[in-house]
Copies of this chain bind each other. A is one copy, B any other.
Amino acid sequence: MKVGFVGLGNMGSVMARNLIKAGHTLTVYNRTRSHAEELQPLGAKVARTPGEAASGAEALITMVANDAAVEDVIFGPGNVIESLPAGAVHISMSTMGVALSHRLVTAHRERNQHYLAAPVFGRPDAAVAAKIFITVAGPAEQIARCQTLFDAMGQKTFVVGNEAPAANLVKVAGNFLITTTIESLAEAFALIRKSGVDPQKFLDVLTGSLFAAPIYRTYGAMIASDNFEPVGFRMALGMKDNRLVLAAAEEAAVPMPMASLIRDRMLAATAQGMADADWSAIARISFREAGL
């Protein structure tokens, strides 16, 4: 397919590579142009604006940092919304707010463009191996049309509804569950460590029995060893995601005390100099509170 790709950060750049590898034709854009130029030797064309990446594309993928960046790319100067051909599809793969996704539904519809929300689960190493999980929502025929793209980037695609914002909600709710897993492990390990029990043995029990899931293995190992390097997902990005779930909860009038707790943990971590640490480093707050 003829694909425009906007946003070549940790995740976006490897996802774009996987698309190229699968034989798709890419025009790429990144604010910091050098990241785009790295893909030139592989055959990608480098665009000077997001609009240029969109122009003539069958599908335009956005994978940018936050809602403001999505708005800028889509509605800003040199933007996508004016350049994407009618009949083409915008696939927003960023983790973004439900409210903004509703706005994109309307904006694309007005221009006879199609729109899918397709946020992903997985850290950069999973993206490299095309092992991320893609959660997609939007019109069924557009999802079918883009399946070849999803297959090139991820190990599995989950279709969660035919209204795009459903996928964004599933993503922010899923990320919320990652954060509660981190915090609950943090509290449990604070207790285990302070009581003199071997944290590694506790981790073995968890991941060898009821909690035999990737998420417990990944974060359990970091927390058990009190070592949060390398940084897979920055605290500041985690705070952004926490804000998204809190905003969705406010919109729907749903109290989520655990989301509020995560907010306070991340603020404490930020206040204590961990804004650039991996988001699992909120465990350090539990450890410090316990006097460890």
Contacts and interface: CB of A to CB of B under 8 A. Distances in A.
Interface of A: 98, 121, 133, 135, 156, 158-161, 166, 169-170, 173-174, 176-178, 180-181, 183-185, 187-188, 190-192, 194-198, 201-202, 204-206, 208-216, 245, 248-261, 263-265, 267-268, 270-273, 285-286, 288-291
Nearest to A204: B158
B264 A291 contact: no
Given A174-B188, A176-B184, A180-B180, 18 more contacts: A156-B209, A160-B197, A160-B205, A169-B192, A169-B195, A174-B202, A176-B187, A180-B183, A181-B184, A191-B245, A194-B271, A210-B214, A253-B267, A253-B270, A255-B267, A255-B286, A261-B261, A271-B290
Given A188-B176, A290-B271, A252 B195 contact: yes
Contact of A190 (B192, B254, B261, B272): B254
Nearest to A267: B255
B263 A260 contact: yes
Contacts of A259: 187
A34 to B, nearest CB: 32
Chain A interface mostly = helix
A256 B197 contact: no
Contacts of A177: 184-185, 188, 206, 211
Given A197-B160, A252-B194, A174 B206 contact: yes
Contacts of A133: 205, 208-210
Given A183-B258, A191-B254, A210-B213, A202 B271 contact: no
